[in-house]
Amino acid sequence: MNFPIPKQDRSAFVGELQRYVDKSRRDGSLLGVMLIHLHRVVELNTSFGYKVGDRLLAIVRDRIGKILRPNDSIERIGDHDFVLVLPSPKNVGHASLAANRIVNVLEEPLEIDGNAIKASVAIGIALFPEHAQEADALLRLADVALAGAIQSNSPIKICAEVPDKGTLSSFIIESELRHALMNDEFILYYQPKIDLATRQVCGAEALSRWNNPARGLVPPDVFIPVAEQTNLMLPFTLWSLNLAARQFGEFNRLSKNFSVAVNLSATVLYDPDVVDLINRTIKIWSIRPEQLVLEVTESAMMVDPKTSLETLNRFHDLGVMLSIDDFGTGYSSLAYVKKMPVNELKIDKSFVMNMDKDKGDAMIVRTVIDMAHNFEIAVTAEGVESQLILEQLAELGCDCAQGFYLAKPMPAANLIDWLQVSPWARQTGMRSVTG
């Protein structure tokens, strides 16, 4: 058995599929396309290393191979998916039967390095000519069906009918996101955070971007809400945590006492595995726990205050730092915050941006800083766009600042340069100051 199994490029595969479609059209026969998604490969890779993920894929392919007919063809496409082409199925039922056999053959746990691992799959099926007449659309509809299977937690979904335009676009963006995650299209930008007492950088917040080949850089406000509706948010967060933790090593080498902050969505906060996954991440990348900041919004915490308190306590026990993001936009109950093991409040930028002109905003900022300090919670102001506001915040005793005036979010490589040349980063770890 060979592994890692070579990955077929999606556009090359579409070309190959088109040849099958053309032949089926000539022969007047049906053609089935089945996308088989292997769950938990990201988690397995994170927990046990890429080799285990690769071996799992190889064993799964081998098992599926044993039940295929001679003319069926199976390819790996992306990191966690296989695509199976079924020439001349008699009808939809025939394709569905094949999918059932695949699910059954994977029931038996697989053995990898003495560990019994249960491979769990989701399958999406689309048929020529019933669902689409061309390869590209056929594959996309198999993707839509697969997204539906994953979303509804069912192992198999057939593209029963052509969805209307509205549903299609929402499905497409979800399947696009899944595709983007598998194809490494997401990147992390970092925005530095400045300690107002020393006027020196003390960390950075990781902010994701989607580098979409067709649309360019897509901001998180567009794709995070879609990801939150799907079960992609946990693998996405694992990806961002691991990348931030890895890149952190280089930032920390250049800047003493650096911390890196990652945003956690509500869906991730309530995942039963999240504490263990974060614990594993800091161990794998040898980060001191206090150098990782988890940013959670107040509204995420309020979805289920009892459970979030339990989770935040477990994070606190790990020693990671906890920050309440967008403070002031939700319940803003400092009495409630007092009960949480919170290290930092981030005052929402909507109050900070106008505090030089709006007395009410300035008053809110002042009150939050004073009350947080009474509870020994540090305060970061986000959205600092001018020197005037920076000085106002320093005057009010605010601990840290983040905003376009100091630095815009930037790719990791630019942050590495910035840490070596910016006046906000003079006391760096590696560089003895020479001028």
**Residue among 295, 298, 344, 399 that touches Ca ion (CB under 5 A):** 295
Binding track, positions 208-247, relative to Ca ion; x by CB under 5 A: ----------------------------------------
Structure tokens at 26: 């000539």
Residues 234-253 contacting ligand C2E, CB under 6 A: 240
Whole-angstrom distance, CA of residue 235 vs CA of residue 284: 17
Q: Which stretch binds ligand C2E (CB under 6 A): 92-100, 313-321, 362-370, 399-407?
A: 399-407
222 vs 413, beta carbon nearer ligand C2E = 222
Q: Using alpha carbons only, give the angle 151, 156, 157 rounded to the nearest 5 degrees.
A: 70
100 vs 299, beta carbon nearer ligand C2E = 299
Residues 322-381 contacting Ca ion, CB under 5 A: 325-326
Looking up tokens 């970061």 gives 380
Q: How near is the Cβ of 223 to ligand C2E at its closest, in Å?
A: 9
Binding track, positions 210-229, relative to ligand C2E; x by CB under 6 A: ---------xxx--x-----
Binding track, positions 173-212, relative to ligand C2E; x by CB under 6 A: ------------------x---------------xx----
Task: Work out what residue 224 binds among ligand C2E, Ca ion, none; the CB cut-off runs from 5 to 8 Å by kind.
Answer: ligand C2E
Number of residues that bind Ca ion (CB under 5 A): 4
Contact status, residue 209 vs residue 222, Cβ threshold 8 Å: no
H-assigned helices in 35-134: 41-48, 50-66, 92-105
When asked if residue 403 is in the footprint of ligand C2E (CB under 6 A), the reply is yes
**Of 429, 422, 395, the residue nearest 406 (C-alpha):** 422
130 vs 295, beta carbon nearer Ca ion = 295
Q: How near is the Cβ of 237 to ligand C2E at its closest, in Å?
A: 6
Task: Measure Cα distances from 268 to 6, 45, 78, 233, 295 in Å.
Answer: 32, 19, 24, 7, 12
Whole-angstrom distance, CA of residue 424 vs CA of residue 407: 9
164 vs 221, beta carbon nearer ligand C2E = 221
149 vs 268, beta carbon nearer ligand C2E = 268
Residues 284-313 contacting ligand C2E, CB under 6 A: none
Q: How near is the Cβ of 167 to ligand C2E at its closest, in Å?
A: 25
Task: Measure Cα distances from 245 to 73, 273, 346 in Å.
Answer: 39, 18, 21
Task: Work out what residue 207 binds among ligand C2E, Ca ion, none; the CB cut-off runs from 5 to 8 Å by kind.
Answer: ligand C2E
36 vs 206, beta carbon nearer ligand C2E = 206
22 vs 273, beta carbon nearer ligand C2E = 273
Contact status, residue 422 vs residue 201, Cβ threshold 8 Å: yes
Whole-angstrom distance, CA of residue 131 vs CA of residue 141: 8
What's the length of the chain?
435
Q: How near is the Cβ of 208 to ligand C2E at its closest, in Å?
A: 4
**Of 217, 218, 224, 318, the residue nearest 266 (C-alpha):** 224
Question: 279 in the Ramachandran plot: left (φ > 0), alpha (ψ -120 to 50) or beta?
Answer: alpha
Q: Which stretch binds ligand C2E (CB under 6 A): 59-67, 74-82, 335-343, 380-388?
A: 380-388
113 vs 221, beta carbon nearer ligand C2E = 221
Q: How near is the Cβ of 110 to Ca ion at its closest, in Å?
A: 39
Residue type, 216: G
Q: Which residues are CB-contacts of 167 (< 8 A; sequence separation ≥ 6)?
A: none
Q: How near is the Cβ of 325 to Ca ion at its closest, in Å?
A: 4
In our burial notation (b when 16+ CB lie closer than 10 A, e otherwise), range 20-48 reads bbeebeeeeebbbbbbbbbbbbbbbbbeb
Q: How near is the Cβ of 211 to ligand C2E at its closest, in Å?
A: 14
Contact status, residue 330 vs residue 302, Cβ threshold 8 Å: yes
Q: Please give the DSSP secondary-structure letter assigned to residue 430.
A: S
Residues 343-372 contacting ligand C2E, CB under 6 A: 349
Q: Which stretch binds ligand C2E (CB under 6 A): 4-12, 36-44, 162-170, 403-411?
A: 403-411
Residues that bind Ca ion (CB under 5 A): 263, 295, 325-326
